[in-house]
Amino acid sequence: MAENYREFNPGNNPENGQSTQGPKWTSGNGGSTYGKIAAIVATLLVLGVLAMESVYSIGEQEQGVVTTFGHAGSVVTSGLHFKIPFVQKVTKVNTTILGFPIGYRSGGDDSASQEQIDDESLMITSDFNFVNVDFYVEYKVSDPVKYLYSSRQPKEILKNIAQSCIRNIISNYVVDDVITTGKSKIQAEIKEMIIEKLEEQDIGLMLVNISMQDAEPPTEAVIEAFKAVETAKQGKETAINNANKYRNEKIPEASAKADQITQDAEAAKQERVNEGIAQAARFNEMYAEYEKNPLLTKQRMFYEAMEEVLPGVKLIIDDGSGDLNKTLYLDELQLEDITGDRPAVSSEDTSTQEEE
């Protein structure tokens, strides 16, 4: 490295006229060494600052918008990235699902600390009744560039759109539907309208969900009346369900009984038909025998009738021979052995016999 020095030559002084060259005087190396160290340190600091400014990271639930000289460029996702220091700037955007309430403000995790905001919650229904309705809106960033540069306050724009749509839909329903039965339908219509408005505004936000937290009249007396109405409706539904349950239990039982009665009737019918057929066949057989031998058939029929009228009675049959000791039970009587005219028949107890 070149050394800095200062030369002094008294021989060149024109006053003394001498040309003798004198000794040279030089400065030391300490000052130049300190300057070198300072320059190296400054260079390292500059390089370190440049390195820190050129490297950045994006989280998993974030996206980054890179701007060059103030103009939005690319959108980067999670990971480690590089940029040109002092030329490019990165703005991080949270892409998780966020939310805000409408109609109330929560003081913390405790729901009892919620504060009602009448300016947001108080609405009028189609039947000119007032009602307090609370909503919770969930949204997320769909386009980071439009979210950052299309509007100054996209969240406030979304909130104003949601309040406008809520009031528009609530005004189409009667108060009874808003408080009791129409909540699901109201939420669906409000969500559809907000999505349509956001597409028109194109502010880089998308609606995830909107839910009705609570709906009640503004006075305690009306609140109690609507609670009574809701209780009555629930009681009505319970009674209907119980009636349907009873009907569903009894109808199969009655159907089973009806089927059983029908089957019994069919069985009785078939039995009577079979019995009639048997009696007709028996009559035909008896008539055929009667045509062969009318007298014996008459006697047999007479004995069978007596057996049915006087069961267990002994009979004395007079065959004309004058012998009355012959006593026969009807089931022991052999009609084919009897000849002659119709015999006389009399009953006898255990001690006496009577002749007929």
Whole-number pLDDT of residue 179: 86
Q: How confident is the model at residue 78 (pLDDT cuts 50, 70, 90)?
A: confident
The predicted structure's pLDDT at residue 160 = 95
pLDDT of residue 189: 95
Verdict on whether the full-model pTM lies above 0.75: no
Q: How confident is the model at residue 324 (pLDDT cuts 50, 70, 90)?
A: low
Q: Say what the alpha-carbon torsion angle 148, 150, 154, 160 is, to the nearest 10 degrees.
A: 180
Question: How sure is the predictor about 18, in pLDDT bands with cuts at 50, 70 and 90?
Answer: very low
How many CB atoms lie under 10 A from the CB of residue 162? 24
pLDDT in tens, 278-310: 989 888 888 888 888 888 878 888 878 877 877
Question: For residue range 26-65, what is the model confidence (pLDDT) as tens digits?
Answer: 444 556 788 888 778 777 776 666 666 777 888 888 999 9
Residues 183-230 have pLDDT tens digits of: 999 999 999 999 999 999 999 999 999 999 888 887 776 667 777 877
Q: Which residues contact 136 (CB under 8 A, 6 or more apart)?
A: 99, 100, 101, 102, 210, 211, 213
More confident call, 198 vs 330: 198
User: Mean pLDDT: which of 172-176, 293-297, 352-356 is highest?
Assistant: 172-176
Q: State residue 162's pLDDT score.
A: 95
pLDDT at 71 over 70: yes
User: Does residue 264 register a pLDDT over 70?
Assistant: yes
Q: What is the pLDDT of residues 121-173, one digit of tens each?
A: 989 899 888 889 999 999 999 999 999 998 889 999 999 999 999 999 999 99
Mean of pLDDT values over 7-13 = 44
Residues 88-133: pLDDT tens digits? 888 899 999 999 999 998 865 545 567 888 889 989 899 888 889 9
pLDDT given at position 228: 81
The token pair that represents 10 in the structure block: 């008294």
- Sequence-distant contacts of 189-198: CB under 8 A, at least 24 apart: 190/135, 190/162, 190/165, 190/166, 193/165, 193/168, 193/169, 194/158, 194/161, 194/162, 194/165, 197/161, 197/164, 197/165, 198/158, 198/161
* pLDDT confidence of residue 293: 84
Please give the pLDDT value at position 30: 55
Which residue, 106, 66, 101, 99, is CA-closest to 84? 66
Give the pLDDT of residue 1: 38
pLDDT at 274: 92
